[in-house]
Amino acid sequence: MIVGTTEAKNHTIVPYGRCDISTGKVINERTIFEIGSVTKLFTALLLSDMVNRGEVKLEEPVVDLLPAGTRVPVRNGRAITLRDLASHYSGLPRLPTNFAPKDPKDPYADYTENELYQFLETYELVRTPGDTFEYSNLGVGLLGHALVLRAGCADYESLVRSRILAPLRMDDTFVRIPPGFLGSVATGHDDNLDPVPNWNLDVLAGAGGLRSNLSDLLLFMDALCDPEQTSIGSMISPLVKPLSQGGLGLLPTPHYDGPTSISHAGGTGGFSSFVGCIPEWKRGIVCLSNSGIPAIADLAVHVLDPRWGMHWYRKEADVDPSQFARLLGRYRLGPNHVFQVTSTADRLYVQLTGQQALRAFPASEWHFFYKAVGAQITFEPDAGGRAARLILHQNSCDQIADRIE
């Protein structure tokens, strides 16, 4: 992993570890990582820029940017707007219901424009756009795709390079890695530190398709910290200003003791990342890791503001793997989502429909936690001592999945 800070454009860089667990090549500021959902900050900036240029309007229905004849669901007469997509108020689910990757280790690679339009053609909203926040990779991916079409660009990378990467001289940031940069790419590792394939995003690239390095992302943090001193300030300023001050009200969140912060975490199958800044302090942080363990966000927030403590660490309990047998099976979370619980040797894995299997670590015989994501699982036994249901604890919510086999 590698950590970098910027304080009024003075950079401090602390690398640690290797590009691959099997080699001795060390990580440095030019090592390229998948940054996952950090990409969403770039998509929000593209929206801001296109609003400034008069190319789109925030309240414009996204259907107006898509090919003629494309259906986008509405509810109660309310269409999904670009603002809805950027702010996660679109009513669209986290992932499309026809998301069925051929390779769970590279889940987005075969989800193309055709699959996206097929989903939009048949999906019916269960929430009215603008009413309820629901984090949606699908929504921001759709936004990125729509902006590419309106701008007349070949793909997401072309648009983000012309509008953001080139002006900031972020020359080592890509969706597709050019051959000359392949030697700089870190290998991703899962929560067991086993190497995993890279992720490749197609039509949903705007939700998580970028790869970058510490040097480039510190330039990005410098721009967010001091918009007036950067060539892309006109697209940053509306995002960091609240609606009451004429801004778009999309990115900033209140920070402890007065200032506002801009941040986003990212995660793919083998990488985790976090970028954040407090513009009033001219201070920013970038943390990049080539493992899927999400502790990096806690570390980054603590470095950005030491008043915030570290909360992530959980100790693994010593549980006899033979106890896993009573947990194995399938648990239905909803009409289209099922948890599959399996075990291999001394490891327990939980896989949700459309996602890769993640290892769950025992906190006790019935309670487990992930290292790859910030979530925990509780199994509730029936009278015979076999798990009858699974409860997912994530984002301050408890979701119950009953055993179906």
Residue 353 identity (one-letter amino acid): T
**pLDDT score for 306:** 83
pLDDT at 249 over 90: no
Q: Are 6 and 160 in contact (CB under 8 A)?
A: no
Kindly state the tokens that stand for 233: 């300030």
Using pLDDT thresholds of 50, 70 and 90, give the confidence band for residue 395. low
**pLDDT score for 239:** 79
**pLDDT score for 254:** 62
Q: Could you identify the residue written with the tokens 């909203």?
A: 125
**pLDDT score for 302:** 84
**pLDDT score for 250:** 66
Closest of 150, 123, 159 to residue 139, by C-alpha:
123
What does the alpha-carbon distance between residue 286 and residue 318 come to, in Å, rounded to a whole number? 35
What does the alpha-carbon distance between residue 316 and residue 369 come to, in Å, rounded to a whole number? 9
Residue 258 identity (one-letter amino acid): G
Higher pLDDT, 68 or 295: 68
pLDDT (mean) for 320-335: 93
Q: Phi and psi (nearest 5°) for 197? A: -65, 160
Q: Are 118 and 203 in contact (CB under 8 A)?
A: no
| Residue ranges with strand state E in 54-205 | 188-189, 195-196
CATH of the domain spanning 2-304:
3.40.710.10
**Percent of the chain whose pLDDT exceeds 90:** 72
Domain ranges, ordered by start, for the chain: 2-304, 321-403
What does the alpha-carbon distance between residue 302 and residue 311 come to, in Å, rounded to a whole number? 10
Residue 160 parent element (H or E): helix 156-160
Q: Phi and psi (nearest 5°) for 48? A: -60, -45
Average pLDDT, the chain: 91
Q: How many CB atoms lie within 10 A of CB 254?
A: 9
Domain at 321-403: CATH architecture? Beta Barrel (2.40)
Residue 354 bridge partners (DSSP): none
| Residue environment code for 117-150, b if the CB has 16+ CB neighbours within 10 A, otherwise e | bebbeebebebebbeeeeebbbbbbbbbbbbbeb
pLDDT (mean) for 331-349: 91
**pLDDT score for 258:** 64
pLDDT digits (tens, 9 = 90+) for 114-132: 999 999 999 999 999 999 8
What does the alpha-carbon distance between residue 306 and residue 140 come to, in Å, rounded to a whole number? 31
pLDDT at 355 over 90: no
**Percent of the chain whose pLDDT exceeds 70:** 93
pLDDT digits (tens, 9 = 90+) for 91-107: 999 999 999 999 999 99
Closest of 38, 138, 96 to residue 354, by C-alpha:
96
What does the alpha-carbon distance between residue 41 and residue 263 come to, in Å, rounded to a whole number? 8
**pLDDT score for 310:** 62
**pLDDT score for 149:** 99
Q: Are 219 and 53 in contact (CB under 8 A)?
A: no
Using pLDDT thresholds of 50, 70 and 90, give the confidence band for residue 246. low
What does the alpha-carbon distance between residue 378 and residue 376 come to, in Å, rounded to a whole number? 7
Q: Are 92 and 142 in contact (CB under 8 A)?
A: yes
Q: Are 404 and 330 in contact (CB under 8 A)?
A: yes
**pLDDT score for 248:** 67
- Helix, strand, coil % in the chain, rounded to nearest 5: 30, 25, 45
Using pLDDT thresholds of 50, 70 and 90, give the confidence band for residue 166. very high
**pLDDT score for 356:** 80
Closest of 271, 205, 371 to residue 32, by C-alpha:
271
pLDDT (mean) for 281-293: 93
**pLDDT score for 349:** 95
**pLDDT score for 196:** 94
What does the alpha-carbon distance between residue 180 and residue 170 come to, in Å, rounded to a whole number? 16
Supply the pTM of this predicted model: 0.79
Closest of 184, 186, 187, 203 to residue 195, by C-alpha:
187
Q: Could you identify the residue written with the tokens 């998580």?
A: 208
**pLDDT score for 243:** 60
Using pLDDT thresholds of 50, 70 and 90, give the confidence band for residue 238. confident
| Distance in angstroms between the alpha carbons of the first and the last residue of the chain | 41
Indicate if the alpha-carbon torsion angle 100, 103, 108, 110 is positive or negative.
Answer: negative
CA 210 to chain centre: 11
pLDDT at 311 over 70: no
What does the alpha-carbon distance between residue 114 and residue 309 come to, in Å, rounded to a whole number? 45
pLDDT at 313 over 60: no
pLDDT digits (tens, 9 = 90+) for 46-92: 999 999 999 999 999 999 999 999 999 999 999 999 999 998 999 99
pLDDT (mean) for 366-371: 88
